[in-house]
Structure 1
């Protein structure tokens, strides 16, 4: 893990680097990002439909294989999900795309 990745660990994806409170909010729902360039970040999925969560995400990042590209994260089929606020599921790194 390089220095940029360490700085991001435990933050919300998309939070500004100078945000005084980049952590999760108790009334929101999150997916934990595991592996790849965004490992350890939380993605706010509050209000997402089940189908949207099932589709996974392509997240823009300068830390991907292609700077300015997207890191791909997907849930594992059949993995349980919690209901309500907090971390409800995990998205696993599956690659990068330009």
Structure 2
């Protein structure tokens, strides 16, 4: 049985850790958050094309560091790719 990807920002034991109907998500690829989804429901086009710096449990800067994820130019509506860690 395949488990649905976990949504970033939800706790492992929370009831709503899976994608919800009517919401828009991007998959995070690579880095410490690989395989998770980020919800972008209600985000502007500019926010979506810019990407995000997300707090991650395991980064080059210890727990609480941030990982940068952004869409690729070839697939702006596709998954967001890890760009590296930052403090």
TM-score by length of 1: 0.78
Superposed CA offset, 1:50-84 (max 9, x none): 11011110001121111211010010013152xxx
Structure 1 runs of 4+ off > 3 angstroms?
none
Q: Aligned runs of 1:4-83 on 2, under 5 Å?
A: 10-66=5-61, 67-81=63-77
* Distance across 1 between alignment mates of 2:11 and 2:76: 30
Unmatched segments (≥5 aa) in structure 1? 1-8, 82-88
Unmatched segments (≥5 aa) in structure 2? none
TM-score by length of 2: 0.87
Total equivalences in the alignment? 83
State the superposition RMSD in angstroms: 1.4
Work out which structure has the larger RCO, using CA pairs closer than 8 Å and 6 or more positions apart in sequence: 1
* Distance across 2 between alignment mates of 1:47 and 1:80: 17
